[in-house]
Structure 1
Amino acid sequence: MIRIDGVRWTYSGADAPTLDGLTLHVRPGETVVLCGPSGSGKSTALRLMNGLIPHFHEGRLEGTVHLDGQAVADLSLDRLGRRTGTVLQHPRRQFFTDEAEAELAFALENFGEPPERIRERVTTVIDEHRLRGLTDRRLQELSGGQQQQVACAAAAAHRPPVLLFDEPTSNLSAAAIERFTATLARLRADGATIVIAEHRLHFLRGIADRVVALRAGRVDAVWRGEEFAALDDDTLSAEGLRSLAPVPRPVPPRACAHGPSIDGDTPSAGVLANAGAGVTLRDVRCAFHGRRVLDIREAYLPAGTVTAVTGPNGAGKSTLARILTGLQRHDGEVLLDGRRLSRTHRQRVSAIVMQDVQRQLFTDSVGAELRLDASGDAAPEDERSRALLRDLDLEPLSSRHPLSLSGGQQQRLVVAAARLSARRIVVFDEPSSGVDRRHLHSITQVMRDLAGEGVVVLLISHDDELLTLATDQELKLRLIDGA
């Protein structure tokens, strides 16, 4: 079905190839998982398969890529679109409409399917992917995880024979991952050819026919599905791969908080009695088009502590992040060390690592990106800053354009910028997207160092491995108003 032979690909303006002699064959109906360190070429390999290389991305291509016996370079984007469905790392980049149901119908409409057949197929897809409750809402109002669920459904709606997923679980809750795993099993049973680039691997046991580890743009190791499932954790760690077993996360202390959005809230008196250095929320509410997204009567987020914000997709976690950093209008007040902060003031004293970090890259080099927001004794020229870049494997990339980096490298770049910003409040919103095992630890160390300096650190994540490493206390949110 897919044949990649001896491919060497260099993005325009890059000093070195991203793929360097990649040879990979995927048989019809096979499910293949691509794993390996951040920057090893996984996303680029998917772009070869769906024709974004060479039809969209500019660069130099050597070697051959065939899809169903035909050279990808010779196929039109229309024909490639009929044969493949793709879910990108950050699905908001691939949406063409502003409502979930319209997005599910988009490809079918583009291919000229009759209206009655489109309606029938969209209804089926909504039921198969359990999207009831999301289809009448605007895509921009959905959480990152909910957007990811819609993108997965839209990619499969026109029944392409090849499905390509790039980090499809990066923003999904445990329950959503279970639903996605069931969807993969159904697609696999229906005969689809599936290629998944992933760092979180535990949910793929029993799904993958083969697991292919990439390193430096070529195949480093290959395992049959049953062989991979039998690997011990030491072997996985030596390869830089995540654990295959779900991590049994300890139950951390609960943050002092109460209100409709708080799952397992504490009494009001507890919040006020314990409030000290750090952030206090009072009567913080936020609604979109009359639908409550977040309602916190009181909460205390102490300085010097990593507070994990958890809960199902759509519970308001990213909304809380935007409120704390002054990016979201809301009712109620936010105090720092007992003093009320306006939204403008919060923007000056806070930093955020967003889910889609590409939206936070503004300059023409890694070094310039760090200098853009660095201040005081955290200037990127000093030894502490160079050590941070070494820890995050960014030092050799200092002259590279940020948009030429892999998704995981971009993630670490924005983490480094947040570390150097000397802000009092730093929020990490799903920072482990595109991050391998080694860098999971280095990002954890960044959060620990910030907390050690008295910063209010919030970690929003569904990643149990990261939560186990980093969490001091947990603020658990729940859905309200049937969200």
Structure 2
Amino acid sequence: MIDFQNVSFSYGEESRGGGIRNINLTIKTGEFVLLTGESGCGKTTITRLVNGLVPHYYEGNLEGDVFLDGKSVADTPLYDLAAMVGSVFQNPKSQFFNVDTDSELAFACENLGYPQEDILQRMDRTIFNYHIENLMGRSVFALSGGEKQKIACASSSVLLPGIMVLDEPSSNLDMVAIDDLRQVLSLWKKQGKTILIAEHRLYYLHDLVDRVLYVKDGEIEQEYTPAEFDSLSDGTRKEMGLRPFSLSKLKPANQYQTHTAKQMELQNFCFAYKKQAPESLHIPNAKLPGGETIAIIGLNGAGKSTLARCVCGLEKKCGVLQVNGKALDWKARLKHCYMVMQDTSHQLFTESVTAEILLSMDDEDETVVEQILEQFDLLEYKDRHPLSLSGGQKQRVAIASAIVSNREIIVFDEPTSGLDLKHMRKVAQSLKSLADQGKTLLVITHDPELVMASCSYVIHMEKGQIKENYPLDVNGAKKVLNFFRI
């Protein structure tokens, strides 16, 4: 179904990295293939060569041929490839063309001029197969991340393509949404579709994939059966920069310091986004340890991001934060707190990566900037515009900015979304370093590996309230893994 013959591709000097070379690959009809490897190794480029974005959208130097069911991708127009290949991207917003779910589901068929009766039949069948009746007639802007990904999966398959290509589809999803995604993948496999998925987060694909391809420096370096991949030692996996294929072996790396004298108290943290609307946050009182890395876990909509906004002073009418006996209102919290947003594009303002880091510093020091950029593998991009970087690189710029800000409390909203093992561990090491300096870190995350690698305390939120909070000891680790288990 998919055949790469001596394929090499480079994007040119402006977009260094991500190219591939000497790829020879055959994927059979109905095969489920996983592409994995460190960021920038070429996984995304391979997926773009299958769905036609390379060379029809992304220009560069292409050698060799890619064939889909015997047809050359380079010689086939994108509108014809759309009927053969369905695509699901890391950020589903990037593939929406409409503002409501019904129109989005119908769009591909309408775009190719299908008869109305055929479109309605395809929509009905898709809605039934994907169990998305409750998502119809909704604004795409009102959907959660998992709901958007469901609509993206459904709309990409309404044309009944034989090939499905996915590029890190789980990076912004919570556990329930990941489980829904797994069910969609299982459905496609039962339908006999050929599936190619590029991923860093691997555990939810266990028992689904037929073959694993490890990509390094633009080449397919190793090929594994699922059993062979599962049997890799932890040391080998870490050397390869891969996340675990199973969560069962994860253990907490940091111990909660029960003797800490620092304390943070939330008083009357109650907030509603609209008058007379139900409260999105209801925490009358909660005492938390200071100087620790605190994981905030919970499903989408549990109130995690609202809590973060209130802690940082971004919402005015939301209680008082006491730190070591000192009460901070919302104005004071703006000066004491720093927040790294989930969508980092909203907080990158300058013309270069260097200027972005300098912007966060009280006392500008270019030597410190060079050090932090080298720490996060960003030194070669120091003169690039931040918005020209990849999603993972932008994330690292925002985190580096937070680290040099010297704020007492730093909030991270999904700091490792889309990051490979290597850069997830760098983030974890940076969090530990900040905690060692006495900083209090709040880490909102759907990443159990980050929780275990960097956090020492956990807040579990549900329906705007703190369901429970506990140290990340042996018993705490069991609670965390039970929460994240699919």
Same fold per superposition (TM over 0.5): yes
User: Match for residue 145 of structure 1?
Assistant: 146
Cα offset, 1:457, TM superposition? 1.6
Alpha-carbon distance in 1 for matches of 2:267, 2:109: 46
Q: Is structure 2 residue 41 aligned with structure 1 residue 2?
A: no
Correspondence 1:105 to 2:106 = yes
Question: Are the counterparts in 2 of residues 11 and 17 from structure 1 also a CA contact under 8 Å?
Answer: no
Residue equivalent to 1:285? 271
Cα distance change of structure 1 residues 98 and 345 upon mapping to structure 2, 3 Å threshold:
farther
2-side partners of 1:79 and 1:326: how far apart?
Answer: 51
Q: Residue 438 of structure 1 aligns with which residue? A: 422
Query: Structure 1 residues 450 and 69, CA, compared in 2 at 3 Å: closer, same or farther?
Result: same
Contact 2:338 2:405 in 1 (8 A): yes
Q: SS state of the match for residue 477, structure 1? A: strand
Structure 1 residue 381 corresponds to structure 2 residue 367: yes
Preserved contact between residue 18 and residue 41 of structure 2 (Cα < 8 Å): no
State the alpha-carbon separation in 2 of the partners of residues 282 and 252 from structure 1.
33
- In structure 2, distance between residues paired with 1:131 and 1:7: 40
Q: 1:15 to 1:239 in 2, by over 3 A?
A: closer
Instruction: State the Cα RMSD in Å.
Output: 3.3
Using the TM superposition, give the Cα deviation of residue 249 of structure 1 relative to its aligned residue in structure 2, in angstroms.
6.2
Instruction: Write the distance in 2 (CA, Å) between the matches of 1:144 and 1:321.
Output: 18
- Per the alignment, residue 66 of structure 1 pairs with 67
My pick for the range that moved more, 199-208 or 5-14, is: 5-14
Structure 1 position 429 matched with structure 2 position 425: no
Query: TM (normalized to structure 2)?
Result: 0.83
AA of the residue aligned to 1:321: A
Question: Which string of whole-angstrom CA distances, capped at 9 and with x for unpartnered residues, describes residues 326-385 of structure 1?
Answer: 55x57533535343433x6655544333333344444444333322323337x3423xx4
Once residues 288 and 218 of structure 1 are traced to their aligned partners in structure 2, the CA distance between those partners, rounded to angstroms, is 52
SS at match of 1:423: coil
Q: Secondary structure at the match of 2:82?
A: helix
Match of 1:413 in 2: 397
Give the secondary-structure state (helix, strand or coil) at the position aligned to 1:74.
coil
Are residue 86 (structure 1) and residue 87 (structure 2) matched? yes
Q: Is the 8 A contact 1:148 1:171 kept in 2?
A: no
Q: Which amino acid aligns with 2:411?
A: V
In the alignment, is residue 183 of structure 1 matched against residue 184 of structure 2? yes
Deviations 1:172-208 (A, max 9, x none): 2223322322221210121111111111112222211
Report 1:17-166 matches (<5 A).
Answer: 18-166=19-167
For 1:289 and 1:68, the matched residues in 2 are separated by: 57
CA deviation map 1:303-345 (0-9, x unaligned): 3222211111232323333444455x57533535343433x66
Extract unaligned runs of 5+ from structure 1. 256-273
What is the one-letter code of the residue matched to 2:377? D
2:468 aligned residue: none
User: What is the aligned-residue identity percentage?
Assistant: 37
- Amino acid across the alignment from 2:442: L
Q: Is the 8 A contact 1:286 1:331 kept in 2?
A: no
Q: Structure 1 residues 163 and 388 mapped into 2: Cα distance closer, same or farther (>3 Å)?
A: same
CA shift in 2, pair 1:183/1:301, >3 Å = same
- Map residues 263-412 of structure 1 onto 2, 5 A cutoff: 278=264, 280=266, 282-287=268-273, 292=278, 294-298=280-284, 299-327=286-314, 331-335=317-321, 337=323, 338-342=326-330, 346-347=333-334, 349-376=336-363, 379-382=365-368, 385-412=369-396
- How far off its partner does 1:52 sit? 1.8
Mapped contact 1:29–1:192 kept (Cα < 8 A): yes
Residue deviations 1:219-261 (CA, integer Å, cap 9, x gap)? 12111233223333232222111111124667999x9xxxxxx
Q: CA deviation at 1:443?
A: 0.5
Q: 442, 446, 465: which one pairs with 1:462?
A: 446
Change over 3 Å in CA distance of 1:139–1:62 after alignment to 2? same
**1:212 aligns to what SS in structure 2?**
strand
Structure 2 CA distance for partners of 1:251 and 1:219, relative to 1, 3 Å: closer
User: Aligned-pair distance for 1:418?
Assistant: 1.8
Provide the secondary structure at the position in 2 that maps to 1:390: helix
Q: Give deviations 1:254-311, integer Å, cap 9, x for gaps.
A: x9xxxxxxxxxxxxxxxxxx99754625242234797647222334454322221111
C-alpha contact 1:293 1:316 (8 A) present in aligned 2: no
Q: Give the direction of change, closer, same or farther, for the CA distance of 1:16–1:183 in structure 2 (3 Å limit).
A: closer
Quote the Cα distance in structure 1 between the aligned partners of 2:313 and 2:98: 28
- In 1, Cα distance between equivalents of 2:306 and 2:143: 10
The alpha carbon displacement at 1:132 in A equals 4.9
Residues 146 and 313 in structure 1, CA contact (< 8 A), matched pair in contact too: no
Change (3 A) 1:290 1:345: same
* Cα distance change, pair 29–178 in 1 and its aligned pair in 2 (3 A): same
Could you tell me whether the CA contact under 8 Å between 1:9 and 1:62 is conserved in 2? no
Cα deviation code 1:397-447 (max 9, x no counterpart): 334444454433332222212212223332222222222222222101212
Looking at structure 2, the residues matched to 375 and 350 of structure 1 have their Cα atoms a distance apart, in angstroms, of 14
Q: 1:125 to 1:305 in 2, by over 3 A?
A: farther
Secondary structure of the residue aligned to 2:22 is strand
Deviation for aligned residue 1:467 = 1.0
Q: CA deviation at 1:51?
A: 1.8
Shift of 1:129: 3.4
Q: 1:303 to 1:96 in 2, by over 3 A?
A: farther
Following the alignment from structure 1 to structure 2, what is the Cα–Cα distance between the partners of residues 99 and 419? 39
Unaligned runs of 5+ in 2: 466-486
Match of 2:437 in 1: 453
Change (3 A) 1:134 1:352: farther
The count of aligned residue pairs is: 457
Alignment partner of 1:477 is 2:465? no
Instruction: Say if 2:179 is the partner of 1:193.
Output: no
In the TM superposition, residue 40 of structure 1 has moved relative to its aligned partner by: 0.9
Query: What is the one-letter code of the residue matched to 2:343?
Result: D
> Structure 1 residues 448 and 94 mapped into 2: Cα distance closer, same or farther (>3 Å)?
same
Contact 1:284 1:330 in 2 (8 A): no
